[in-house]
Chain A
Amino acid sequence: GDSVTQMEGPVTLSEEAFLTINCTYTATGYPSLFWYVQYPGEGLQLLLKATKADDKGSNKGFEATYRKETTSFHLEKGSVQVSDSAVYFCALSRPGAQKLVFGQGTRLTINP
Chain B
Amino acid sequence: ETGVTQTPRHLVMGMTNKKSLKCEQHLGHNAMYWYKQSAKKPLELMFVYSLEERVENNSVPSRFSPECPNSSHLFLHLHTLQPEDSALYLCASSPTSAGEELGTQYFGPGTRLTVL
Contact = CB atoms under 8 A, between A and B. Distances in A.
A binds B: yes
Interface of A: 32, 34, 36, 41-46, 49, 51, 89, 93-100, 102-105
Interface in B14-60: 31, 42-43, 45, 48, 50, 55-56
Given A89-B43, A98-B94, A102-B42, A42 B103 contact: no
Given A94-B103, A97-B103, A98-B55, 20 more contacts: A32-B103, A32-B104, A41-B109, A42-B109, A42-B110, A43-B90, A46-B104, A46-B105, A46-B106, A51-B100, A89-B43, A96-B98, A98-B48, A98-B50, A99-B45, A99-B48, A100-B103, A103-B42, A104-B42, A105-B42
Contact of A43 (B98, B102, B104, B108): B108
Nearest to B90: A43
Contacts of A43: 4, 6, 90, 92, 107-110
Interface in B74-97: 90, 92, 94, 96
B74 to A, nearest CB: 14
Contacts of A100: 45, 103, 105
B54 to A, nearest CB: 13
Contacts of A89: 43
Contacts of A41: 109
